[in-house]
Every structure is written in C-alpha cells, then in structure tokens.
Amino acid sequence: MNDLFAPFYEGWGLFYLDQFSSDMYNNLLYVPIGLTLVLSTALMLIVYYYAIDHPKFAKWYHWLIWVLLICGINFIVAYYVSYNELDLIYAQKQQTLPYSTEFFSFSMFNAFWTLMFGLIVSALIKWKSVNCKRTPF
C-alpha cells in the first residue's frame, strides 16, 4: 500500500522532497496518512450527502466549505504524523531532525489530494442524495 500512495505524494517526481520523501517512504509513513485521507474524505462526504443532506446546505460553497474542512483535517493529520514519526526516528538515532518546511509542503500536497479525491467521491456518490444531488455540479 505504501507503493500505492507514494506516487501521489511524490507527484511522480514533481513533489519529491529528496531525503524527506525517502524517509517517509522507507518508514511506511505514507500508509496511515493515505488511508486517513481516503477514509475520512469518503466518510465525511457520505455524511454531507446523506446524513446532513439539507436544503440549506445545498449550494456549491457549502460543499466547498465542507471539503476544505476535510482538507484542513488531513493537512493536520499529515503534519502531525510526519513530524512526530520522523522526530522520533531521528531522536532514536540521536540526530537532529533535518526538516522544517518539508512538513508544511507535504501537508499541502496531502490537502491537495484530499480536494481531488473529494471531487471524485462527490461525483460518484451524490446522485441518491435528496437535496444535494446537484452539489457542487
């Protein structure tokens, strides 16, 4: 599963962050972050389309706010998991954590993929919703 998520997080080379990406890959850190992205996005969009499913929240910007919320959650998860795990790993090697801006960049990539996945899930599941079947498109 690490190999499934890696191309997305590394952008097929476009988002590759040298040693940071190698550390993430080698320590299988893409898996929990990727799984969290998939499951949280799917679950929260099911909540939006089928549990909330409210005429007052059927405009495109309601959907966007909801998806940005999911993006925010996944940004935080990505930052937290990557920072804490890599910090622990380097602490065990008695080395200083060599990364700073990489965590932010990686978390932004995660948020980006959350948005993309959110669009795909929305297109697939919205049709049976009563009030939001045409949200956001």
Partner 1 sequence: MSKIYVFGIGGTGARVIKSLTLLLASGVEINSDVVVPILIDPDKANGDLTRTIELLKNYQQIRTRVNFSSQSNKGFFRTKIEDVCSNFRLDLKDIENDKFRDYIDYGGLNENNKALISLLFSEDNLNSNMEVGFKGNPNIGSVVLNQFRYSSDFKDFASSFVQGDRIFIVSSIFGGTGAAGFPLLLKNIRNADQSLATCALLKDAPVGAITVLPYFGVTPDPESKIDKSTFISKTKAALSYYEENISGNNSLNALYYLGDNITKDYENHEGSIDQQNEAHFIELASALSIIDFMNIQDVDLEVVNGCAQNPIYKEFGIKNDTQSINFLDLGHLSQQYLGKYLSQYFLFTLYLKNNLRDSLHLPWATGSVKIDTQFLNQPFYASYLRNFNERFVEWLEEMSRNVRGFAPFNLNVGSSNLFEFVVGIPPKTSFLEKGSNYTRVNHILAKVEPRVGNPNVEQKFMSLFYLATEELVKEKFNF
Rounded CA gap, 69 and 84, in Å?
A: 22
**Nearer to partner 1 (CB atom), residue 108 or residue 125:** 125
**Nearer to partner 1 (CB atom), residue 93 or residue 128:** 128
CB of 59 to partner 1, least distance (A): 6
CB of 136 to partner 1, least distance (A): 11
CB 24 within 8 A of CB 30: yes
Q: What is the DSSP letter of 28?
A: T
**Nearer to partner 1 (CB atom), residue 29 or residue 126:** 126
Applying CB under 8 A, the residues found at the interface with partner 1 are 53-56, 58-59, 130-135
Residue whose C-alpha is closest to residue 45's, from 78, 76, 69, 61: 69
